[in-house]
Homo-oligomer: A and B are copies of this chain.
């Protein structure tokens, strides 16, 4: 009679995993395959399905201890559904964060791959966003990290906060003849943050949801003239893609986290311009 069950090596291939992983799950009592006289493991359909379950639970972020409680029936339906909802919500955040990291990195790769380091364009549908604006007289004070921290401490200490860089908001038209005075400095407020405190403390501004053109570019300190070139490139891109600018204001975001191989006086920036498709 031929063998009915599967060997460890076969399970390893089926699930694209390693024998050490299977051994680990067995050691902690998550799997219990049949053990032969010569100590070979044999996995039947039940063990296979159990491993399938272990792997989904792992991908959802459960610990092996939680898995044991869930899979050994030490949990009722209510509790189980609650845990599942928590974990899918966490996964939601993780996924959208990873998508953001991936997209920004791809944009950086695209930009750096070009010989002339010029520009990289993408178009995305964006949610509405809210920004805290700093009073102009506070701008010089932003040179000190401590003042920066103190200025936004209410924001930073709140639950939903995640790390942000300062942004600039200015008028699209001022790109022609850019002066520092035309721009205002701000910081994004996370969704799900209680706005009541914030609105009392800070001046805010919001951008509506819709289609935005992201322009990634390398800015060399003091090279303000490059911004004029930038505008002509943007206009060319808009014309070629049948788009028009749809808002007076433009947001400029610094990406120091992506400037790894850039020189000290250079920085990677993203400009977001609201656009709409021409009819």
Contacts and interface: CB of A to CB of B under 8 A. Distances in A.
A106 interface: yes
Interface stretch (A22-30, A95-103, A130-138, A223-231): A95-103
Interface string A244-279: 000000000000111111000000000000000000
A57 to B, nearest CB: 8
Contacts of A81: 109, 112-113
Contacts of A6: 145-146, 149
B113 A145 contact: no
Contact of A88 (B45, B109, B259): B109
Contacts of A193: none
A56 B257 contact: yes
Contacts of A48: 145
A9 to B, nearest CB: 11
A3 B146 contact: yes
A105 interface: yes
A239 interface: no
A231 to B, nearest CB: 28
Given A14-B156, A44-B145, A94-B98, A88 B60 contact: no
Interface string A82-102: 001101100110110111011
- The secondary-structure label for the interface of chain A is helix
B256 A53 contact: yes
Number of copies of this kind of chain in the complex? 2
B145 A97 contact: no
A101 B81 CA distance: 15
Given A10-B149, A71-B260, A163-B52, A109 B85 contact: yes
A3 B112 CA distance: 37
A50 to B, nearest CB: 9
B80 A105 contact: no
6 contacts: A3-B146, A4-B144, A4-B145, A13-B156, A60-B102, A88-B106
